[in-house]
Every structure is written in structure tokens, then in C-alpha cells.
Amino acid sequence: DVKVTQSSRYLVKRTGEKVFLECVQDMDHENMFWYRQDPGLGLRLIYFSYDVKMKEKGDIPEGYSVSREKKERFSLILESASTNQTSMYLCASEDNRGASGTQYFGPGTRLLVL
Amino acid sequence: GEDVEQSLFLSVREGDSSVINCTYTDSSSTYLYWYKQEPGAGLQLLTYIFSNMDMKQDQRLTVLLNKKDKHLSLRIADTQTGDSAIYFCAESSGYSTLTFGKGTMLLVSP
């Protein structure tokens, strides 16, 4: 079974803090993704990565950065957290050798920025 | 850009069939997906259909694709309370990222 884990289920931070959200997958997948999920807006893609040290901007990259130093780990960084970044953050991984778009999701991190 | 639309809410009684509908705009969509999200959890892939197929059946799930109308539906037979969740439709043109709909909340009452 594919397993995607996220470092925290719930996180509370203050405005201006630097926040790291970690995601690890154990299936040697090349592709990894970060989304945020907000009521009424569905899932929006923040960043994705096709390989180690590679990153691509998604639909809403502003205020975020990412790091992929190892294949299994994809980190999302909020350089200076703001209240409008309060959201549910979902990480996913995908095996690009199989059927395209079969993404496997982690359980999510619910972030509250005060 | 590409867009995927779903109705936001569906309520059914236990034992009935549920039909969740989705429309998409990208004519180059290669794969179409249904994901399920239970409360407090991430998304779980339910099923997917390749664009050259009209129908796919998997136990209680039936996916119908009308490529001409760009319409996708998910039918759940004999709906159970455990099927209560948010269902996301998504499409991919096969190159990279998925485009998700906003999700349909299915509520199954006893």
C-alpha cells in the first residue's frame, strides 16, 4: 500500500512565523504535490515537483516555497505566515510510470495562523 | 483554463442509488477521476476512466463518460451511511497536473 505521511495533523502558528510542512512518501514516486483546500474553493495546487531538486509553480504559489532534497520528501515552506494562509494543506505523490494522475494523498495538515 | 464543475450537495436515503455529476471543459482530457474524502482525511482515489471508454463498473460504483458533452457521472448503488463523504471529480490531459472540481458533499440518511 502506498503511504503518504504528513508531519502534523494540526498546527497553530502566529502571523510572521516561518512554517515548515513536511510530506514523506514510501513508494519511490517521482512526482509530488502540495495543495490547499478551502471551503467553497476545492483543491488548489500550490507547487509540485517531478524530481529531486526540481519544482514547478502551481496555481497559487504566492507566499509559499518548496524544497525537494530527497525523492521521498517534499516540504512546503511559509516564509512569513499570514492569516489568509489558514487552511487545510494536502500533500500527494504520483507514480509517473503508471496511469497518469493516480495521486495518493496524505491525511492533511490543518494550519491555523493567528 | 480548464474547469471542472460539480453540484455542491446531494442527499439520499440509505439503500437508494446516488448519482454525482461532473462537467469539464478541457477537450484534451485523457483521464477522468473520482476521489472520495471522508471527514478529517485526505483524498482517496475511488476509480478512474480513460477517455476512450464510455463506462466502467467496479462493484457498487459505475462511472459513465459522455465525451461529446464533456459529462462524467458516478453512480453508487445501494448507498450506505459509510458512503457519506465529499466526492471530487478531476481530469488530466496526461501531461502533468490534475484539475479538481470543488467537490460534492454526499449525505446519506438512515
Question: Average of pLDDT values for B84-95?
Answer: 86
What is the per-residue pLDDT across A26-74, written as a single tens digit (0 to 9) for each? 989 989 999 999 988 889 999 999 999 999 999 999 999 999 999 999 9
Contact at 8 Å (CB) between A27 and A93?
A: yes
Query: Is the pLDDT assigned to residue B96 strictly greater than 70?
Result: no
**Are A108 and B45 a contacting pair at CB < 8 A?**
no
Q: What is the pLDDT, as a whole number, of residue B90?
A: 92
From A4, A42, A45, residue closest to B97, measured CB to CB: A45
Query: What is the overall mean pLDDT for chain A?
Result: 92
- Sequence-distant contacts of B22-25: CB under 8 A, at least 24 apart: B22/B71, B22/B72, B22/B73, B22/B74, B22/B89, B22/B101, B23/B69, B23/B70, B23/B71, B23/B72, B24/B70, B24/B72, B24/B89, B24/B91, B24/B99, B25/B70
Q: What is the pLDDT, as a whole number, of residue A101?
A: 63
Nearest C-alpha in A relative to B39: A107
Nearest C-alpha in B relative to A48: B97
Say if A102 is an interface residue toward chain B (CB within 8 Å). yes
What is the per-residue pLDDT across B1-50, written as a single tens digit (0 to 9) for each? 668 999 999 999 999 999 999 999 887 778 899 999 998 888 999 999 98
Please state, in angstroms and as integers, the Cα–Cα distance from residue B43 to each residue in A35, A38, B85, B92, following that order.
11, 14, 10, 16
Query: Is the pLDDT assigned to residue A96 strictly greater than 90?
Result: no
Q: How confident is the model at residue B52 (pLDDT cuts 50, 70, 90)?
A: confident
Q: What is the pLDDT, as a whole number, of residue B1?
A: 60
- CB hemisphere CA count around A90 (13 angstroms): 21
